[in-house]
Structure 1
Amino acid sequence: MKKINILDLFSGTGGFSHGFTSFSERFKVVGAVELDKDAAITTRLNHKDCLVINKDIRETKPSLFNEYLKNEVVDVIIGGPPCQGFSSIRPFRSSEEEDPRNTLFEQFALYVNYFTPKVFVMENVVGLVSHNNGLTLEIIEDVFHNLGYDCEWKILNAANYGVPQKRERFIMIGAKKGTKIHFPFPTHSFDGKTIGIKNKNKMVIVRENLPLALNAMEAIGDLPALASGKSATYYASEPLNAYQRERRVGSDGTLTLHKATNHPPKMLEIIKHAGDNISFIPKHLITSGFSNCYSRISANEPAPTITVKFVNPASSKCIHPYQDRALTPREGARIQSFDDNYLFHGSRVQVIKQIGNAVPPLLGKAIAKSVFEILN
């Protein structure tokens, strides 16, 4: 069985590529580049045969992977260049391996140019579409066209692909010129409020007669109830649905990362009043905050986008639907569609950051299906 080799740039936890390997055993992650030390170790723990380079990609030559690859080709490159790098983006200037002037996107393009994969997938924030009045995206498309690729992009909502979260992402798929490109069909319907973009043709249209998107409690309802500051290391019940059952596959029965933030008394008083938005909080308890701060996740809808602040009610909508506390890291990982046996390395703060920044593995799995079909 011939393997399909993947290079994962800006890999973070390796969640995006985990979605690919979950879809098919033919996908193999052979290399990854990640700047954050703890996230790089997380990638290495979950992709044991992968060469993970823990360095700034601008200091990492593509040729470093050649000896490890032993003349094998890179079939697919995936990754999400951090959006901060788009401010100074310019037309691609050269294929020089080492150019400190390159932005992070240009490094992604450099790897595509060096390895000439059959397909690449670039993931990013929805705001990329309107950045610099659309000029940034035009330059990106021109760069890949000049490198010999046709590319298409869409805004995908993770809730449409089995993830219990309203997380919208920009996804660009590129393939060698003349290759037909398509995006994954939704598996779940969700018509609630989203960010979206003006050009609805670039939004994936939800087909009729699909199961409803999973809600937050369908993701975390089997996890033990906790008070502020408390933790649990064993499941309190059997899985209550297929999603929970799938997340527990491969688990040895031990529950990890299910520890609640130890909220101070004033925050606990605020949390007791929490509702759908900040207006539920008595004015004398808070002085400022965005509309979604100090608010509860709805039990009957997909959760809002999990951020790197999902254990801090002052910074995001992250209070448990019924319990008086913020989400635990395990609940955040469940909402991001990580399996319970997925390994995370680092301090609690680092793990929370990794979970919040990750591409949901189930969204990656849906994209992997399209890539597999494009390759075949």
Structure 2
Amino acid sequence: MKVFDLFCGTGGLTKGFENSTRANFDIKFGIDVLESSVNTFKLNHTNAVGLSEDIRKVRRSEVERLTGVKRGELDVLVGGPPCQGFSSIRPFRSTNDDDPRNTLFEEYASFVNYFRPKVFVLENVVGLATHKKGNTLEIMQECFHQIGYDTDWRLLNSAHFGVPQKRERFVMIGVERGAEILFPVPTHTHKGSTIGFKDKSRILDTDSNKNLIAAISTMEAISDLPPIASGESANQYLEIPKNEYQASRRKLSEELTLHVATDHSEKMMEIIRHSGKNISCIPKHLITSGFSSCYSRLDAHEPAVTLTVNFVHPSSNRCIHPILHRALTPREGARLQSFDDDFQFFGTRTQITKQIGNAVPPLLGLAIADTISDMNI
């Protein structure tokens, strides 16, 4: 099944598709404006064409030529248009697919209109569901309806699909008119707080299913990694995996990469030593400002909170190791995003950290891919 990935970032979503054993997904194309992210995408999707371009400047016919995938031959189109620009979305004008005035969402819609995939997946921030009191979402769905697609959407919590992180995403699935739409069925349960959205039918239910296993916790995901201190690094595993999740991420990896801890200042180390569940644990004289989640320690026995693009710096969010006195390493962040240890990242440590923080967890992508394979498209 041929797959295109728009606004692909590292390709975490489509790596989940590649890992599916229910269908053979062939990733043919990825595009993103960030060159380092596209280089990461190409390292891990070796058969795909990867473009580092502004999607508004790339003609659909050129993508057709580069990939050899013609109109009507594409099975799945996925992607998450950046939320900047939602405010200016207009009713879709399908007559001009190369209009430079298009918003990034309209570029996504025009790819759907040009290539006519059997199914598309649009993922985004959960705030899209309530943007402009739902009006933005109505316009988006009407866009797709005008060009012959039915759509439905849900708010998915990554922790319900084996990801050790309470990362919540908006996911819309579209199909050619009249086809069936399915959403992933949760495999894990988590009792913690979730999205406060009024229409509970949009949030997948885990309470009624007593056979689900507990969500993967932070320490279940990272406890096999060497216990390095601030400023230290390690490139070898010191012990065997302690559970199925760790074994699945390690696979046959022999060399440990990206396990490099931020070298914190002495003042930051003092803050970290006081850190707890939220910023109120820090003595007032040590900090001047910050959100409630800043300078906070992850709970060892819960899935992690949503990673940000600066999860190696305690001032950005709740990203201090559950036990050790330091922020997470990029490898620990990748584990919490469900990347396998052999997934290759391109770029500087700062670029890689941002790529990890911005990514769609591959295990969430896998759940979506497996569901699409059941849709008989």
TM-score range (shorter-chain normalised) is over 0.9
Q: How many angstroms does 1:208 deviate by? A: 2.1
2:349 paired with 1:312: no
Q: How many angstroms does 1:372 deviate by? A: 1.0
Give the aligned residue type for 2:147.
L
User: Matched residues in 2 for 1:37 and 1:110: separation?
Assistant: 23
Q: How many angstroms does 1:196 deviate by? A: 3.5
User: Matched residues in 1 for 2:62 and 2:372: separation?
Assistant: 26
Give the aligned residue type for 1:91.
P
User: Matched residues in 1 for 2:85 and 2:256: separation?
Assistant: 38
User: Matched residues in 1 for 2:376 and 2:49: separation?
Assistant: 23
User: What's 1:212 paired with?
Assistant: 214
User: Matched residues in 2 for 1:268 and 1:352: separation?
Assistant: 21
User: What's 1:303 paired with?
Assistant: 304
**Residue number among 41, 55, 58 corresponding to 1:57 in the alignment:** 55
Residues 272-351 of structure 1 aligned to structure 2 (within 5 Å) = 272-351=273-352
User: Matched residues in 1 for 2:257 and 2:193: separation?
Assistant: 32
SS of residue paired to 1:26: coil
User: Matched residues in 1 for 2:210 and 2:163: separation?
Assistant: 18
- Identify unmatched segments of 5+ residues in structure 1: none
Q: How many angstroms does 1:132 deviate by? A: 1.0
2:365 paired with 1:364: yes
User: What's 1:110 paired with?
Assistant: 110
User: Matched residues in 1 for 2:257 and 2:308: separation?
Assistant: 20
For the aligned residue pairs, the C-alpha RMSD in angstroms reads 1.0
User: Matched residues in 1 for 2:38 and 2:211: separation?
Assistant: 41
Normalising by the residue count of structure 1, what TM-score does the alignment of the two structures yield? Answer: 0.97
For this pair of structures, how many residues does the alignment match?
372
1:45-69 per-residue CA deviation (whole Å, 9 max, x = no partner) reads: 0001101111000011111122233
Are the counterparts in 1 of residues 49 and 67 from structure 2 also a CA contact under 8 Å?
no
Q: How many angstroms does 1:194 deviate by? A: 1.8
**Deviation larger for 22-31 or 309-318:** 22-31
User: Matched residues in 2 for 1:142 and 1:30: separation?
Assistant: 28
2:37 paired with 1:39: yes
Give the aligned residue type for 1:7.
F
Are the counterparts in 1 of residues 308 and 316 from structure 2 also a CA contact under 8 Å?
no
Q: How many angstroms does 1:198 deviate by? A: 1.4
User: What's 1:123 paired with?
Assistant: 123
Q: How many angstroms does 1:370 deviate by? A: 1.0
1:114-155 per-residue CA deviation (whole Å, 9 max, x = no partner) reads: 000000000000000111111000000100111111111000
Are the counterparts in 2 of residues 293 and 313 from structure 1 also a CA contact under 8 Å?
yes
User: What's 1:16 paired with?
Assistant: 13
Are the counterparts in 2 of residues 277 and 291 from structure 1 also a CA contact under 8 Å?
yes
Q: How many angstroms does 1:93 deviate by? A: 1.4
Residues 191-206 of structure 1 aligned to structure 2 (within 5 Å) = 191-206=191-206
Q: How many angstroms does 1:95 deviate by? A: 3.7
**Residue number among 7, 24, 27 corresponding to 2:25 in the alignment:** 27
Give the aligned residue type for 1:151.
T
Residues 221-240 of structure 1 aligned to structure 2 (within 5 Å) = 221-240=223-242
User: What's 2:68 paired with?
Assistant: 70
User: Matched residues in 1 for 2:340 and 2:169: separation?
Assistant: 21
> Aligned pair in 2 of structure 1 residues 71, 36: CA closer, same or farther (>3 Å)?
closer
Q: How many angstroms does 1:71 deviate by? A: 4.8
> Aligned pair in 2 of structure 1 residues 18, 71: CA closer, same or farther (>3 Å)?
closer
User: Matched residues in 2 for 1:187 and 1:14: separation?
Assistant: 23
1:337-357 per-residue CA deviation (whole Å, 9 max, x = no partner) reads: 000000000011100000000
Residues 127-206 of structure 1 aligned to structure 2 (within 5 Å) = 127-206=127-206
SS of residue paired to 1:112: helix
1:6-57 per-residue CA deviation (whole Å, 9 max, x = no partner) reads: 0000000011000001013610000111110000000000001101111000
User: Matched residues in 2 for 1:272 and 1:70: separation?
Assistant: 56
Are the counterparts in 1 of residues 221 and 335 from structure 2 also a CA contact under 8 Å?
yes
Give the aligned residue type for 2:195.
I
Q: How many angstroms does 1:193 deviate by? A: 1.2
User: Matched residues in 2 for 1:306 and 1:330: separation?
Assistant: 13
SS of residue paired to 2:364: helix
User: Matched residues in 2 for 1:65 and 1:100: separation?
Assistant: 17
- Identify unmatched segments of 5+ residues in structure 2: none
SS of residue paired to 1:191: coil
> Aligned pair in 2 of structure 1 residues 179, 205: CA closer, same or farther (>3 Å)?
same
Give the aligned residue type for 1:20.
F
Q: Which runs of 4+ in 1 moved over 4 A?
A: none
Give the aligned residue type for 1:232.
A
User: Matched residues in 2 for 1:175 and 1:53: separation?
Assistant: 26
Give the aligned residue type for 2:231.
G
Normalising by the residue count of structure 2, what TM-score does the alignment of the two structures yield? Answer: 0.97
Are the counterparts in 2 of residues 6 and 78 from structure 1 also a CA contact under 8 Å?
yes
**Deviation larger for 56-65 or 6-15:** 56-65
| % same residue | 55
SS of residue paired to 1:375: coil
User: What's 1:7 paired with?
Assistant: 4
